Chain A
């Protein structure tokens, strides 16, 4: 099931997927430590982080392609729009969110900053044209070591478990509603 060889760009994408999953795990930590259910916007922000991770995993599994980075970028842009709306429509934040800020900012604000950072990083990564050159991965990459095989499985496992957990959390917040509208 593991690709026999992962080149440098694929390895970095695997790490990126893990980072994206850990961001959602961080939101879980705040949710469970403060006993607060996430707002519908917060769930949508989590979906956008999941989408960025899926785009990175597409690069890992099927080879690095511009289209996969494009998907990541689109999720980052949609996430920025949702997070920005969440921040400005909930002003003043303490009245509606009530949670303890992290380093002076609330989670939707951190979400906006993270999406903006991800979009900027994706733009920079696209300058690395060598990753898109067409020769087969097998001729460019060393045999995948056990460490990177572990990273590969951790990336898939982590985002799958977190997404499954978000199904349960989403059901407790929105039920089976299509849009989570009241």
Chain B
């Protein structure tokens, strides 16, 4: 899962440089979709909550 933190770090660096807003937003969206995809992939098939 560290790739998500690495992409987030890259997004922070791009925001700091202040040059490419589109790239910064795109990297942030990759993190957003990525974290949700990781969450779904880890829970796929676990319909119950195991209470």
Query: In the complex, A68→B2 CA distance in Å?
Result: 24
Interface residues of A in 140-182 (CB under 8 A from B): 156, 159-160, 163-164, 166-167, 170-171, 174, 176-181
Question: A residues within 8 A CB of B13?
Answer: 160
A-B contacts at CB below 8 angstroms, number: 115
Q: Considering the complex, which residues of chain B in the window 8-37 have a beta carbon less than 8 Å from any beta carbon of chain A?
A: 8-9, 11-13, 15-18, 21, 24-25, 28-29, 31-32, 35-36
Q: How far is the CB of A12 from chain B (nearest CB, A)?
A: 17
Of the listed residues A48, A51, A54, A156, the one surrounded by the most CB atoms of chain B closer than 10 A to its CB is A54
- Whether B9 pairs with A164 at a CB distance below 8 angstroms is yes
Q: Measured between alpha carbons, how far is A45 from B11 in the docked complex, in Å?
A: 18
Q: Does A138 contact B (CB under 8 A)?
A: no
Q: Are A81 and B21 in contact (CB under 8 A)?
A: no
Residues of A near B43 (CB, < 8 A) are 85
A108 interface residue, CB < 8 Å from B? no
Report the Cα distance A136→B24, complex, angstroms.
Answer: 21
- Contact between B51 and A181, CB atoms less than 8 A apart: no
Tell me, rounded to whole Å, the shortest Cβ–Cβ distance linking A16 to chain B.
14
Q: How large is the interface on A (under 10, 10 to 19, 20 to 34, 35 or more residues)?
A: 35 or more
**Cβ-based interface call for A71 (8 A):** yes
B contacts with A, residue count (CB < 8 A): 33
Interface residues in chain A, defined as those with a beta carbon under 8 Å from any beta carbon in chain B: 1, 3, 40-41, 43-44, 47-48, 50-51, 54-55, 57-58, 61-62, 67-68, 71, 74-75, 78, 81-82, 85, 88-89, 91, 156, 159-160, 163-164, 166-167, 170-171, 174, 176-181
18 A-B pairs in the complex with CB atoms less than 8 angstroms apart: A40-B1, A44-B1, A47-B4, A50-B5, A50-B31, A51-B31, A54-B28, A57-B15, A57-B16, A62-B18, A71-B25, A82-B35, A85-B39, A163-B8, A179-B1, A179-B41, A180-B38, A180-B42
Residues in B lying within 8 Å of A, measured CB to CB: 1-6, 8-9, 11-13, 15-18, 21, 24-25, 28-29, 31-32, 35-36, 38-39, 41-43, 46, 49-51
